Chain A
């Protein structure tokens, strides 16, 4: 009996392959998008973890000799004294046309993360070859191509993780290439130093300790990026569930006669329910499997862009290849099961409560009464209110997400009521019977389409919200880069005398030399830093202030006010006019607040004379240089002045790379946007297909009254477009609200700074166009069917007893 019942139930899918496809595709798509986002986030998080564990060279504190290179004997003395340090030699060498940036590390003492990978059977190089002449040089594939055929180089091994133009090699090989004659440029101080090591002054008095370059700054920005991805995954999943809900609901409705027959034949309701549950889970397993495969492909396709972003921006070696994680796959299957159960819950509940002798007539998406619509809208309003209440009453990221969830779901629930109202208005304004029929019939179809339209609304709102956030982020980030990288070149002098010489040397060769002098000092009692700046128009022109008065810049330059960063201002509730304590009894009024994305600690900027007055011994080694020709100046600094490459940073190039990488990041977001919208379009197609089979009885009389099939089809398309456009009108404010939530609530909760919101009407227009196209495509298939329906089919409606 059970077997026969199962066979009968499953036979439905054989007769309705399109429905089966819809169900599987919807669930698979939902699972795929969710899993892809999870895989990307997971891979990125693994990269962060390993990046945190294996810092690049700049991530280690190091020892340098301000007077020049370090002799090997000093290195040996430090090691013998118990200091775990490892040598680095670096420099540039000209080979053919190529200026090769050579970095030599000592493989026996370097931490694993510092060493290039790439030795393996496929390269044919034995590990020992690293230490044996001619040595091995690890370079990017493009660098290897550039260097092909050039003699006097170690054997090249390619490793895509290495930046172009750079060669990693053994310290001995680098020494020979660069002619270092047994000297070391710096010694990296490894973590886990023994507690009782002798002090540096005893072992190597000439060396000074240089703190690691802070890598946390921009890395924190990525949190926002991942938040954005996660939100996408979640919403895509929700949108996918609407499709599944539709398909399962339809299948349940269509099988009502079968359920009745099976029950009449003696199948207990409990068994029927169990079989249906098993069926849903089986389908979910199948769809989940497909979804995971698809998700893996999507993530694999998108990951290189994400990896490039992380690598380029943060210098972290990120694998561009996705590792398959069985746990991840299991989670994907689980979420597919969960989604299918949620989507099927309503259908299963109906079956459970169905009386034995219920009508076998399909209710066919029973008309939802105005009362039900109102109830749904009220529930939506309650959800929105609950989200707002949580956000108002509680702090933290969870509250931010509660607000987001409440807003989106609530808006989706209210949508049908709003659409009904709009259609009612249309009907009242309609002139002529055809127009009246059009509005009335559209309204009559609303219950059947409302789920699909809700998913379209969610997709559109997400799209607007996320792209607004991303674009605002991009604008802000560009501004932030301009602010932070005002100078064209950054140099660090080797000593105070060197700094004086450098300033004198630079004066006739550059537009301006801006000191970057700072002290670490408590701000309002918490760790912070104070920078001194000179009066130069670049600051006035480029630093975007969040909170300023006309007196802000004059106050700073006349040493009677300080700028503070946003984090400090938010934490300490500071605004212009308040008094800022800069440590050691030093106090100054706040003159303005500037944005400082990603920086975890408080920062203040004062006029240089004020800083020197308080801290005359501030380190005067770092300078920013303004010049119209950074390339030439850079070369001259290295070749004519003799400044080591390591003391020079060309931030113009860094900025260009950062922006280029961010553009690539946005293509990821763009791809996900398109995918979400496709899912929504698919939902509309499903709903329209479902309706089209049932609408014949409603269309036949209109046809009989003289409306041609072609005209009817055009009206159907128009109807779908009208509904999509109306949905867009509702989605727009919801999306903007969503963006505002992301920027002003979630970001502030998560990172302590607020991204300003910018609006992009052109993007909306493009999105409206896109959604109309999606709706038109979704409507095309059912409409074609309608236009080509044989007149006899229409006539049958009148012949058959309905």
Chain B
């Protein structure tokens, strides 16, 4: 194992992406977790401060997904993610220089109906190669960048977004048409019956325009985007070995966030937020949402369900999700599936699906 794997091991500890072997394997980190802050119920989110980094928490991300289409109706999906992970807790003024305990990782994905591109960047904190500033908002790693353009009341209201890989790049502008939406209990999102939790809010109302560069040429696109913000210090519970997450834009204007944490030894733990077209969230606890795999696809690295049935009886929701490209496997240091889906059934629309813990 070389030193680069350290980043892999490090980031596999991210709760959303943790596999069981990893979360138990590095016992040293379990003790470290005690030095980190933990999410607590009843803490108010405060903006723009919380758009920035929380170095006293172990892990954090800025996670944007978007369903886009070209003028010819062809579907595209993009992903832009910046992960932060701390090797050691950091309170007070962040450490400058090589000694900073922060590590950053960027993932970019671009999915077309018949191709999937992905790229990854790693950087250490404290030296300016990667980081996040709350106001004016800017998140970057190398030349990948998500930054406020200065319009709108909130720093997140208008953003520019760029990323590139060896064979693709994109350059997009994002304009929010609705408010920020907290998940769970005013942003306190519970992840397991044992009480593991994170702070979690979203900006799901982006209108997007811009262009994609692909090996076949440039494409002008428009569509909807969804930005997730989440930070925590607690890994999944020991028996949770993966995660299926969805963010759906329904044609009627409403939106749905839902996830299912798979448990080796028991029923999965689910959670959901129904978002009205005006941005009013309704949180749903464990059991309200059911996610049922219908069909599986063999990807380059793992067999994953790419057709799902999503039901929420409380909302009369019964839809079928179908991956636009079932081969949207992210061949990054820690691999997972992330790609756009078509939604049909009681509430047609489009959305994004993320599945972790299926590979090794």
Binding site for B on A (CB under 8 A): 72-73, 75-77, 79-82, 84, 106-110, 112, 115-117, 119-120, 126-128, 130-133, 170-172, 175-176, 182, 192, 194
Contacts and interface: CB of A to CB of B under 8 A. Distances in A.
Q: Pick the most buried of B2, B7, B96, B142: most chain A CB atoms within 10 A of its CB.
A: B2
B127 A130 contact: no
B6 A82 contact: no
B9 A132 contact: no
Contacts of B4: 107-108, 110, 112, 115
Contacts of B122: 108-109
Contact of B28 (A82, A108, A126, A194): A126
B142 A171 contact: no
16 contacts: A76-B128, A80-B128, A80-B143, A82-B164, A107-B3, A107-B4, A108-B124, A115-B2, A115-B4, A119-B1, A119-B5, A127-B5, A130-B3, A170-B3, A171-B98, A194-B164
A80 B1 contact: no
Contact of B98 (A127, A172, A192, A194): A172
Contact of B10 (A75, A120, A128, A194): A128
A82 B142 contact: yes
Contacts of B96: 182
A547 B9 CA distance: 62
B290 to A, nearest CB: 38
A112 B2 CA distance: 8
Q: Pick the most buried of A80, A110, A117: most chain B CB atoms within 10 A of its CB.
A: A80
A6 B127 CA distance: 79
Nearest to A73: B128
B127 A127 contact: no
Contact of A116 (B2, B98, B103): B2
Contact of B99 (A75, A112, A172): A172
B6 A106 contact: no
B88 A119 contact: no
Nearest to A173: B98
A751 B129 CA distance: 46
A407 B83 CA distance: 68
Contacts of A128: 6, 9-10, 26, 28-29, 87
Given A126-B28, A128-B87, A108 B123 contact: yes
Interface of B: 1-10, 26, 28-29, 87-88, 96-99, 101, 103, 122-124, 127-129, 140, 142-143, 164, 166
A435 B20 CA distance: 89
A106 B124 contact: yes
Contact of A131 (B6, B26, B123, B140): B6
Contacts of A192: 166
A344 to B, nearest CB: 49
A129 B97 CA distance: 18
A593 to B, nearest CB: 46
Given A127-B5, A182-B98, A79 B143 contact: yes
A172 B97 CA distance: 8
A119 B143 contact: no
Given A126-B9, A128-B9, A194-B164, A76 B88 contact: no
Contacts of A110: 3-4
B7 A108 contact: yes
Contacts of A76: 127-129
B98 A79 contact: no
B170 to A, nearest CB: 14
B213 to A, nearest CB: 10
Contacts of A170: 3, 98
Nearest to B5: A127
A109 B122 CA distance: 6
Contact of B127 (A72, A119, A194): A72
B98 A80 contact: no
Contacts of B7: 107-108
Contacts of B99: 133, 172, 176
Contacts of A132: 87-88, 101
A133 B97 CA distance: 14
Given A72-B127, A79-B143, 9 more contacts: A79-B142, A115-B4, A120-B1, A126-B28, A127-B8, A128-B29, A170-B98, A172-B97, A182-B96
Given A79-B123, A182-B97, A107 B128 contact: no
A119 B98 contact: no
B206 to A, nearest CB: 24
A109 B96 CA distance: 18
A72 B1 contact: no
A502 B1 CA distance: 44
A194 B213 CA distance: 13
Contacts of A77: 128
Contact of B142 (A80, A117, A175): A80
A181 B164 CA distance: 33
Nearest to B29: A128
Contacts of B2: 107, 112, 115-117, 119, 127
Nearest to A77: B128
A182 B123 CA distance: 16
Query: What 5 pairs between A and B have smallest CB-CB spacing?
Result: A172-B98, A127-B6, A76-B128, A107-B3, A108-B122
A127 B128 contact: no
A119 B5 CA distance: 10
A130 B101 CA distance: 12
Nearest to A170: B3
B292 to A, nearest CB: 38
B103 A75 contact: no
B233 to A, nearest CB: 16
B6 A109 contact: no
A119 B142 contact: no
B34 to A, nearest CB: 16
Nearest to A82: B143
Contact of B103 (A72, A79, A108): A108
A213 to B, nearest CB: 23
A128 B97 CA distance: 18
Contacts of B8: 127
Nearest to A81: B143
A127 B143 contact: no
A170 B101 CA distance: 13
A80 B140 contact: yes
Contacts of A81: 143
B6 A80 contact: no
Nearest to A131: B87
Contacts of B166: 192
A541 B119 CA distance: 58
Given A108-B103, A112-B4, A127-B3, A75 B127 contact: yes
A123 to B, nearest CB: 10
A107 B7 CA distance: 9
Contacts of B140: 80
A107 B98 contact: no
Contacts of A175: 97-98
B261 to A, nearest CB: 25
A107 B143 CA distance: 19
A120 to B, nearest CB: 6
Nearest to B124: A108
A176 B96 CA distance: 14
A749 B164 CA distance: 46
A128 B4 CA distance: 9
Nearest to A74: B128
Given A106-B124, A127-B1, A194-B164, A75 B9 contact: no
A338 B143 CA distance: 59
Contacts of A171: 98
A117 B6 CA distance: 12
A103 to B, nearest CB: 13
Contacts of A75: 127, 129
Nearest to A133: B99
A79 B127 CA distance: 11
A80 B1 CA distance: 29
A72 B128 contact: yes
Contacts of B10: 127-128
A743 to B, nearest CB: 43
A130 B142 contact: no
